[in-house]
Amino acid sequence: MTAVFCVNTADRKAETWKAQLDPLPRLESAGSDAAKGIAAAVAQVAEGRRGSTSAPALGHGLDVFHTAKEAHTVLARQWRQAESAWVEAEAADAKVDRAQERGIDARGPAGPARAAWRKATAALERVEHLEKAWRRARAALELFRLDGRLNDRASASAEIAAAVAGLPGPEWKTVRNFLLDRRSLAFLDRMHQRLATAEPRPEWREAMAWRWWLRHRRPAATANPSTALVHAVAR
């Protein structure tokens, strides 16, 4: 069901990727990062199949891994900045304490200490808001919504749009681009297509998916909850 390419090549250009995709005429979906080489290769293969009755259409989706990795990198950097501001505030407080211990007027160091704590508190609150916004975006990339219902493109898109509003600034640009790329939710489209094939009746699909969620809300036993869900609905 899945092909993982581990090939030592000189480059990652479109033609290099296309050489890997061409021998797979039944491939229906490709998942990757947002690199231009593989995107161009998938587009070329998909275009070559257009109008063909013997080869399936080829879809392309962005994987969640690279989006999450980029977000975690940005968050870690901003947490370090907030922690650094906190350390500076503690150091400023220490100067006030030393002045008081020596019987020196502490009003001089007290002003910078208050300013340092305001800066540290603001930095901490800011990164907490950023992490909350990212968690909301990350939840939109799950198969199920928080209420246990199947996720879909419309719901996920609305959640992502709200979440990216809380991820401002140039440091979050790559994450925003990944999240807002239409390919990021291609896995949801594919899941619903496969479920519809397994069970054409929408009310039955909804009921069985809900039952599956109730029984497997922590699906640690399977590496691919989407496949397991399709199998359960197909029974």
* Mean local confidence (pLDDT), 202-209: 92
Residue 76 pLDDT: 97
Place of tokens 């947490």: 79
Banded model confidence at residue 221, pLDDT cuts 50, 70, 90: very low
Banded model confidence at residue 177, pLDDT cuts 50, 70, 90: very high
Structure letter (DSSP) for residue 35: -
* Mean local confidence (pLDDT), 139-156: 94
Winning range, highest mean pLDDT, from 19-28, 46-55, 176-185, 223-232: 176-185
Answer whether residue 30 shows pLDDT above 60.
Answer: yes
* Mean local confidence (pLDDT), 189-217: 91
Q: Kindly state the percentage of the chain with pLDDT values over 90.
A: 73
Banded model confidence at residue 223, pLDDT cuts 50, 70, 90: very low
Answer whether residue 9 shows pLDDT above 60.
Answer: yes
Banded model confidence at residue 108, pLDDT cuts 50, 70, 90: confident
pTM of the model: 0.81
Residue 38 pLDDT: 94
Mapped onto helix, strand or coil, the DSSP state of residue 196 is helix
Residue 228 pLDDT: 57
Winning range, highest mean pLDDT, from 40-54, 157-171, 198-212: 157-171
Residues in the chain: 235
d(CA 111, CA 99): 13
The answer for residues whose C-beta is within 8 angstroms of residue 53's C-beta and 6 or more apart is none
d(CA 95, CA 100): 9
d(CA 156, CA 151): 7
Answer whether residue 229 shows pLDDT above 70.
Answer: no
Residue 99 pLDDT: 86
